[in-house]
């Protein structure tokens, strides 16, 4: 990470005049999303060609069921990674939120207040992360690995081996759990997926069309410069973590209702899927680079790929390999190009070599 | 300039999203008729008493690598092979409910006639399985049971009932030591419910053997080191000990290892219990242990396959007392009236020198 920030200044100080450098990078970014789009079409064609079940409403519905709640967590994660930070506690917060709902339900609460408390837990957990990262200034990866264990541990203490609703418990309200079995009226889309689409629109507008969004990009590219430019880096980061906590808790509620039960280990290990989606969407792990539509495309690709491979009865180990290779490519291709450019830049003239260096980035797909 | 860039980026993205939606929306048209196909095909079942050919049964193990479950899946494949149907094995690589849900979904989409599942979570699969059941699929659970209540109702294939495990282990040891002498039990944790109920039935069965006496039960907490310590204590305290029953895979393998390195003790003490053939193979082959037990996972899957096919063909029902044939295993009766209808595989399989090489788990 540090070697990256060493290089960044030369990027940031690149004079506006170097047009080919900028447009080269722009082209690279465009191509990444284009590449994703092509890939999505390929996946859909692949799915359709291998199983007659693929091009159906139910596939679209199940896709939403399977990836909707994961994708919801990917949205705030995109914003967090844009600022150069990370939050690995999202899946544990999903489990903690579900466990909160479950425990309160077990003790006779009704569903809506229980869900309210779960969101509050998300807010508090997110604020804890935010406080430690933004105000205290601890590295986010260390902080959130800690809260990953902490949140899951609390969930385990709360529920233990209890699966709610257990013997003697009321069933969850059928009206709410129907989100796991029936789509939004008049569409083939799962509720969780629709929520994701709406939130994606909000986050997209926020990131790409508001000053706040530009601030996030600036913070990711050059935290110090952003600070000096008057951006309230710590405050923004704090609220990003709060938002991540709340939305992860919300994802936990959606998952809980979908499977109409809770056990403490819900969503174990999902944080890696969330980060993978974001990176596959073209967001740089070093921050400052990436687009929200890219992340949406990544969600669609991974979701459809899983549906297609499962329908085709592909061995899940092979499925893991396929997804793994795609994700590796998404990290290797862009930063590989960048590394190449950096190497060339160093071997020639450290600063005045814009035109020739822009090309290697544009080879993602 | 950055403004322009972001707008252009957004524009591309919007196009991308629109295309994605279009390509996915194109999927939506072909589905409306598909829901009815399975129900029409299964209407004539109750009258004729044979299992239908061409059934598709989805086996959804906890994950696809667990050797125990792989054997069960193969048993299921054998069963459906005999019945002229087919098995599709589908699951994830992680033992989570979320990894199994896509497999249930694909079973629904493929209009599977039955689903046989070893659930990673007793409840989280229920909504998806209920959808499958509504579509006409028979739901069968094995290895670990579901808690879905009546949505959907399912048949649980129980590997072995508590009583027959306790009883058969005493019988096995009695045969080896001539029904005579002091014996002890090396158990897991003192609080382990399954262990304690097996030991309870051992004591009942021991009444049939007046010359055998249970002198002590020790607890190794399913930890090799603890098991070894309590075993050594046991052997010191009871030098005349003739036999040890260890109804836990950790206990029996630890004890077998100890006996293997202490031949003088091994010549006096006979060990048996519940063990994994993979861990015990060496000791059975070199004579340290004559025989031990466990249920046969392949038979478990075979029985589940027959149960699923019989339910899907409406040859049998989930009502307690209903009967069905399970190939070479013979006839089974659905037990009740417990929370869920279930079928017990039968007494555990005894492993000895002759058959142990056939079991790879």
Q: What is the per-residue pLDDT across B57-114, written as a single tens digit (0 to 9) for each?
A: 999 998 888 778 888 999 999 999 999 999 999 998 888 899 999 999 999 999 999 9
Contact B101 A306 (CB under 8 A): no
Question: Buried b / exposed e across A14-31, counting CB within 10 Å, b at 16+?
Answer: eeeebeebbebbbbbbbb
User: How many Å lie between the alpha carbon of B125 and the closest alpha carbon of chain A?
Assistant: 7
Pull the structure tokens for residue B163: 């009583």
Residues β-bridged to residue B271 = B244
pLDDT at A28: 54
On whether both B282 and B310 belong to a single domain, the answer is no
User: Does residue B143 lie within any of the structural domains?
Assistant: yes
Q: For B262-361, where are the alpha helices, taking DSSP H only? A: 263-266, 277-285, 297-312
On whether both B150 and B186 belong to a single domain, the answer is no
Pull the structure tokens for residue A361: 């980035």
Q: Which of A38, A40, A64, A259 to mutate to test the interface with B (most CBs of B within 10 A)?
A: A259
The closest CB to that of B13, out of A33, A56, A311, belongs to A33
pLDDT at A203: 97
- Longest Cα–Cα distance of chain B, Å, equals 96
Question: Are the C-beta atoms of residues A298 and A281 closer than 8 Å to each other?
Answer: yes
User: How many Å lie between the alpha carbon of B117 and the closest alpha carbon of chain A?
Assistant: 16
pTM, full prediction: 0.77
What number of residues does chain A have? 365
Domain boundary among B246, B269, B294: B294
pLDDT at A361: 44
Question: Are the C-beta atoms of residues B241 and B184 closer than 8 Å to each other?
Answer: yes
Peptide bond into A165 cis (omega under 30): yes
Q: Give the Cα separation of B322 and B312 in Å (integer).
A: 14
- Is residue A181 within 8 angstroms of chain B, CB to CB? yes
- Chain A residue numbers touching B5 (CB-CB < 8 A): 26
pLDDT at B117: 96
Look at residues B317, B272, B316, B277 and name the one whose alpha carbon lies nearest to residue B297: B277
pLDDT at B335: 87
- Longest Cα–Cα distance of chain A, Å, equals 74
- Exposed, middle or buried by CB within 10 Å (0-12, 13-18, 19+), for B71? buried
On whether both B156 and B166 belong to a single domain, the answer is no
Question: Which residues does A342 contact at the CB level (< 8 Å), separation at least 6?
Answer: A7
Look up the CATH number of the domain holding residue B181.
Answer: 3.40.50.2300
Domain boundary among B272, B294, B316: B294
Residue with tokens 């970014």: A29
Q: Give the Cα separation of A121 and A256 in Å (integer).
A: 15
User: Does residue B336 lie within any of the structural domains?
Assistant: yes
Q: What is the pLDDT along chain A (365 residues), one digit of tens a residue?
A: 444 443 443 343 333 334 444 555 555 555 788 889 999 999 999 999 988 889 999 999 999 999 999 999 999 999 999 999 999 999 999 999 999 999 999 999 999 999 999 999 999 999 999 999 999 999 999 999 999 999 999 999 999 878 889 878 899 999 999 999 899 999 999 999 999 999 999 999 999 999 999 999 999 999 899 999 999 999 999 999 999 999 999 999 999 999 999 999 899 989 999 999 999 999 999 999 999 999 999 999 999 999 999 998 888 888 889 888 888 887 777 666 667 777 777 776 655 544 444 444 444 43
User: Does residue B9 lie within any of the structural domains?
Assistant: no
pLDDT at B338: 62
What number of residues does chain B have? 361
Structure-model confidence comparison of residues A155 and B47, the more confident one: A155
Look at residues B341, B361, B319, B305 and name the one whose alpha carbon lies nearest to residue B158: B341
Q: Give the Cα separation of A193 and A68 in Å (integer).
A: 4
Contact A208 B23 (CB under 8 A): no
On whether both B168 and B284 belong to a single domain, the answer is yes
DSSP B178-192: TT-EEEEEEES-TT-
- Give the residue from chain B lying closest to A303, CA to CA: B102
User: Does residue B267 lie within any of the structural domains?
Assistant: yes
Contact B102 A306 (CB under 8 A): yes
3-state secondary structure of B90: coil
User: Does residue B14 lie within any of the structural domains?
Assistant: no
- Chain B residue numbers touching A251 (CB-CB < 8 A): none
Q: Give the Cα separation of B18 and A293 in Å (integer).
A: 11
pLDDT at A101: 97
Tens digit of pLDDT for each residue in B243-293? Answer: 999 999 899 999 999 999 999 999 999 999 999 899 999 999 999 999 999
Residue with tokens 């290892």: B257
Tens digit of pLDDT for each residue in B177-211? Answer: 999 999 999 998 887 777 888 999 999 999 999 99
Other CB atoms within 10 Å distance of the CB of residue A218: 22
The H or E element spanning position A171 is: none
- Chain A residue numbers touching B105 (CB-CB < 8 A): 58, 62, 65-66, 310
- Exposed, middle or buried by CB within 10 Å (0-12, 13-18, 19+), for B197? middle
User: Does residue B308 lie within any of the structural domains?
Assistant: yes
CA angle A19, B8, A275 (to 5 degrees): 100
Q: What number is the average pLDDT over the span B110-131?
A: 94
- Chain B residue numbers touching A56 (CB-CB < 8 A): 27-28, 30-31, 34, 109
Structure-model confidence comparison of residues B18 and B232, the more confident one: B232
Extended strands (E) in chain A: none
Peptide bond into B287 cis (omega under 30): no
- The size of the A-B interface in CB pairs under 8 A is 162
B351 phi and psi angles, rounded to 5 deg: -105, 130
Helix axes A233-259 and A57-82, enclosed angle (nearest 10): 160
pLDDT at A168: 82
Residue B267, domain extent = 162-294
Complex ipTM tops 0.90: no
3-state per-residue secondary structure call for B191-229:
CCHHHHHHHHHHHHHHCCCCCEEEEEEEECCCCHHHHHH
pLDDT at B353: 94
On whether both B152 and B208 belong to a single domain, the answer is no
pLDDT at A12: 39
- Give the residue from chain B lying closest to A187, CA to CA: B28
DSSP B133-156: HHTT-EEEEESS----TTTT--EE
Domain boundary among B246, B273, B294: B294
pLDDT at A7: 40
On whether both B167 and B193 belong to a single domain, the answer is yes
Look at residues A41, A66, A62, A65 and name the one whose alpha carbon lies nearest to residue A53: A62
User: Does residue B227 lie within any of the structural domains?
Assistant: yes
On whether both B70 and B124 belong to a single domain, the answer is yes
pLDDT at B300: 94
User: Does residue B4 lie within any of the structural domains?
Assistant: no
- Chain A residue numbers touching B10 (CB-CB < 8 A): 204, 208-209, 291, 293
Provide the domain count of chain B: 2
- Chain B residue numbers touching A291 (CB-CB < 8 A): 9-10, 13
């Amino acid at each position: 990470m540090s070697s990256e920030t060493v290089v960044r200044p030369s990027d940031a100080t690149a004079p506006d005049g170097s047009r080919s450098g900028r447009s080269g990078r722009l082209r690279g970014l465009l191509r990444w999303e284009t590449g994703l789009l092509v890939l999505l079409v390929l996946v859909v064609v692949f799915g359709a060609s291998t199983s007659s079940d693929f091009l159906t409403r139910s596939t679209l519905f199940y896709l939403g069921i399977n990836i909707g709640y994961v994708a919801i967590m990917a949205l705030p994660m995109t914003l967090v990674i844009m600022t150069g930070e990370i939050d690995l506690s999202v899946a544990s917060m999903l489990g903690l939120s579900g466990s909160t709902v479950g425990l309160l339900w077990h003790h006779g609460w009704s569903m809506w207040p229980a869900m309210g408390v779960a969101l509050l837990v998300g807010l508090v957990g997110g604020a804890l992360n935010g406080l430690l990262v933004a105000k205290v200034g601890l590295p986010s990866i260390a902080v959130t690995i800690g809260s990953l264990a902490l949140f899951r541990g609390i969930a385990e203490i709360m529920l233990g081996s209890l699966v709610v609703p257990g013997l003697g418990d009321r069933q969850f309200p059928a009206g709410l759990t129907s989100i796991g079995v029936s789509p939004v009226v008049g569409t083939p889309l799962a509720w969780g997926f629709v929520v994701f689409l709406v939130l994606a629109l909000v986050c997209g507008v926020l990131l790409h069309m508001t000053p706040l969004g530009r601030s996030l990009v600036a913070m990711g590219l050059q935290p110090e410069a952003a600070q000096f430019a008057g951006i309230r880096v710590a405050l923004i980061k704090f609220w990003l973590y709060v938002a991540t906590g709340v939305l992860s808790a919300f994802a936990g509620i959606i998952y809980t209702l979908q499977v109409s039960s809770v056990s403490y280990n819900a969503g174990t290990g999902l944080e890696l899927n969330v980060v993978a989606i974001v990176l596959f969407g073209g967001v740089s792990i070093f921050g400052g680079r990436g687009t929200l539509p890219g992340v949406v495309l990544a969600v669609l690709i991974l979701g459809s790929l899983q549906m297609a491979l499962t329908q085709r009865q592909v061995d899940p180990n092979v499925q893991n390999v396929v997804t793994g290779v795609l994700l590796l490519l998404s990290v290797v291709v862009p930063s590989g190009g960048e590394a190449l450019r950096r190497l060339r830049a160093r071997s020639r003239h450290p600063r005045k070599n814009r035109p020739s260096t822009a090309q290697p980035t544009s080879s993602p797909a | 300039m950055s403004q322009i860039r972001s707008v252009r980026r957004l524009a591309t993205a919007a196009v991308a999203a629109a295309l994605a939606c279009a390509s996915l929306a194109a999927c939506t048209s072909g589905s409306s008729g598909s829901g009815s196909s399975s129900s029409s095909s299964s209407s004539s079942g109750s009258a004729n008493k044979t299992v239908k050919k061409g059934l598709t049964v989805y086996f959804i193990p906890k994950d696809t690598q667990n050797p125990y479950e792989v054997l069960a899946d193969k048993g299921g494949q054998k069963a459906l092979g005999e019945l002229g149907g087919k098995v599709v094995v589908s699951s994830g690589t992680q033992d989570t409910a979320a990894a199994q849900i896509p497999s249930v979904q694909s079973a629904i989409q493929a209009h599977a006639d039955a689903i046989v599942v070893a659930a990673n979570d007793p409840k989280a699969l229920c909504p998806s399985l209920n959808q499958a059941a509504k579509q006409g699929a028979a739901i069968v659970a094995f290895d670990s049971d579901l808690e879905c209540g009546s949505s959907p109702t399912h048949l649980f294939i129980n590997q072995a009932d508590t009583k027959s495990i306790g009883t058969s282990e005493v019988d096995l040891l009695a045969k080896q030591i001539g029904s005579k002498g002091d014996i002890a039990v090396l158990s897991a944790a003192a609080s382990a419910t399954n262990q304690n109920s097996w030991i309870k039935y051992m004591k009942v069965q021991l009444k049939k053997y007046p010359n055998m006496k249970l002198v002590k039960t020790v607890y190794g907490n399913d930890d090799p080191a603890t098991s070894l310590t309590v075993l050594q204590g046991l052997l010191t305290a009871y030098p005349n000990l003739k036999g040890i029953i260890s109804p836990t895979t950790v206990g029996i393998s630890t004890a077998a290892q100890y006996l293997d390195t202490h031949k003088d003790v091994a010549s006096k003490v006979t060990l048996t219990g519940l063990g994994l053939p993979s861990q015990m193979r060496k000791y059975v082959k070199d004579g340290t242990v004559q025989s031990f037990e466990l249920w046969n996972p392949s038979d478990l899957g075979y029985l589940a396959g027959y149960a699923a096919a019989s339910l899907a063909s409406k040859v049998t029902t989930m009502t307690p007392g209903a009967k069905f044939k399970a190939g070479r295993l013979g006839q089974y009766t659905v037990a009740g009236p417990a929370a869920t209808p279930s079928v017990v595989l039968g007494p555990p399989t005894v492993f000895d020198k002759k058959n142990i090489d056939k079991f790879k788990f």
